[in-house]
Structure 1
Amino acid sequence: MGSIQKRGTNSWRLIVELGYDAKGKRVQKKKTIRVDDPALLRAPKRLENYLDTELRKFQLEVEAGTYVRLEKMTFEAFVEQWISKFVDVDLEVKTRDNYLYHTKRRILPYFGHMHLDQIKTMHINDYMEYLRSPAARNDGKKDKPLGSATLVYNYRVLRSIFTKAVDWRVLKDNPMAGVSKPKEDDVKEMEVYDEREIAALFQALEDEPTHLRVLIMLAVTTGLRRGELAGLEWKHIDLERGILEVKTTIPKLSNGEPVIKGPKNKKSARKIALSPSVIKELETFRSEWRKERLQIEDKWEGGQHEFLFSALNGKPHDPQRLTKRWIEFHRKHGLKPIRLHDLRHTSVSWLIFKKVHSEAIAKRVGHSNTKMMEIYGHIFESVDREAASTFEDIVIPFRKKA
């Protein structure tokens, strides 16, 4: 049973009756709410319905044991709600893990003891300043501060927490409103292989096992992301038509089992044409793969999946393992040390160098054209300058006449 009491011009107290305690004392839960919508305040019936709805919601919270008085809710208590109702529900696996990592590693130890409504913009700015000092490191490396990418991720997580607090009407004002996003001034720029380095790469691949050749050739010639390579199955490849379809991705393994997801977005689900040389390598690899599959027999643990890059039991390799294989390879052959993901950048850069149309490149690698221009704009600028120079054949004769 509940009741509503008017408290001020536009505030009401919601009261939920919980009976009597062992001493016969009346037990109640109370919550004060404000109504700032002028249209609602001018419509008595609508206002009454709104307040009745809020009372029912409050009563359900009390009965379910989830209601906590806001002035008593700690930051840590709200974060638990944020994790269960948002992070675990709405975020992709990799993003969720990153959010939880930064929350538990630094944010909760710093703010966890504070009441949520006591955290002001000043406190958050103090925290961001603290992150810029070597004292914020907890990995033993006290000789240098955290990288700017870590600061930006902490900013992003805090913004998510306090935005949800406002959205869920736990807070009226967002203390992040006066906090500036840190500049990412030490982010490692993309590195790519040039024409000579690509030639050296493929020469080094000649004496490597087929599975490694295929892994690196696909990374360079298709621009697949690491998770897309890890999630690639034979059923996604039509060797007769020379087409590869990107349908699944494996961002990580959890407790030894692959986390198999659909493409990152609609553009990520795409068909990619394969070159004749890559098709030939894939045909050789498929033949070897099938022979190994027949030898495994009852030890197969891959189920209905047939991943290209898998352990002998059929389970896909952890994406981290693909990175490790790449690092071992480029170190072995003394190639320029770039990330596995930079082979994707190399793929795009090569296509730009060969003057393939930007829309065709974007479709091939699963980018929007505008996003690709943001990432590879400096390369497109050089191509555009070269395109401009072609007009010299027209302009120079004209200027001579003038």
Structure 2
Amino acid sequence: MIITLALITGLRRGELLGLEWHYIDWETGVISVEQSVSLSPGGDAHVKEPKTKGSRRKVAIPSAMLRELQVYRAHKADEFEKIGDRWQGNGRYVVFCHPDGKAFHQERPYLWFREFLKKNGLRYIRFHDLRHTSATLLINQGIYAKVISERLGHGNIGTTMNVYGHVLRTADQSAADKFESVLELKSDAIQHITDEI
């Protein structure tokens, strides 16, 4: 679930770990990014404000993802029922946590993802690369850079352009190539008219 959500939203690892259930709008399918989990000097996970002012944002998710989250929420509710008074969520109900509600250490997704890739014979990428994959998929679908920038929580569009400039240039070349067939059709039409004259 965390991998799918990372791919679809482009949220940072800490933002995924800081996501609480009440930040998901079940009516509109919008996630509010309001906090992040980071490590304290003692190595414990703690919740803090997002990375930058622009990091506080709303990210829409497709209805299929919303349905998957509802199934996952029912699973987590069962865990909550079983754990009873041993709950250690400290008043927070985060989406991704230990069965007893305790927040995951920030390295947990990375370590789990690394093992998942190895076990399934997949090429190694960092967990953070799921964020880059999300942005690249959106660029290749023709989504405006400004929209992608806002989804990623970049402070300004310049950051997005700097990080994904090479992908945007490739997408731009692909767009230019699409005009090749238009120009060929036009050229053929002109040739046909000239032949008839």
Report if TM-score (shorter chain) is over 0.5: yes
Alignment of 1:376 onto 2:164: yes
Structure 1 gaps, min length 5: 1-213
Structure 2 gaps, min length 5: none
Contact 1:233 1:307 in 2 (8 A): yes
Give, in angstroms, the shift of residue 389 of structure 1. Answer: 2.6
Contact 1:253 1:318 in 2 (8 A): no
Alignment of 1:362 onto 2:154: no
Give, in angstroms, the shift of residue 241 of structure 1. Answer: 1.6
2:134 paired residue number? 347
**Higher Cα Rg, which structure:** 1
Q: CA RMSD in A?
A: 2.0
1:74 paired residue number? none
Q: CA–CA distance in 2 between the matches of 1:325 and 1:254?
A: 23
Give the residue type in structure 1 aligned to 2:174. E
Alignment of 1:239 onto 2:45: no
Inter-CA distance 288–239: structure 2 relative to 1 (3 Å threshold)? same
Number of residue pairs aligned between Structure 1 and Structure 2: 189
Runs of 4+ in 1 over 3 A off after TM superposition: 253-257, 394-402
Inter-CA distance 254–278: structure 2 relative to 1 (3 Å threshold)? farther
Contact 1:222 1:272 in 2 (8 A): yes
1:46-195, aligned counterparts within 5 Å?
none
Give, in angstroms, the shift of residue 383 of structure 1. Answer: 1.1
Q: CA–CA distance in 2 between the matches of 1:256 and 1:370?
A: 33
Give the residue type in structure 2 aligned to 1:301. Q
* TM-score, normalised relative to structure 1: 0.45
Comparing 330-339 with 246-255, greater Cα deviation is found at 246-255
Give, in angstroms, the shift of residue 289 of structure 1. Answer: 0.6
* TM-score, normalised relative to structure 2: 0.88
Q: CA–CA distance in 2 between the matches of 1:354 and 1:307?
A: 31
Give the residue type in structure 1 aligned to 2:179. F
Q: CA–CA distance in 1 between the matches of 2:43 and 2:21?
A: 22
1:277 paired residue number? 64
1:316 paired residue number? 103
Q: CA–CA distance in 2 between the matches of 1:256 and 1:236?
A: 26
Task: Give deviations 1:117-151, integer Å, cap 9, x for gaps.
Answer: xxxxxxxxxxxxxxxxxxxxxxxxxxxxxxxxxxx
Q: Answer 1 or 2: higher relative contact order, Cα 8 Å, separation at least 6.
A: 2
Contact 2:45 2:106 in 1 (8 A): no
Identity between Structure 1 and Structure 2 (%): 37
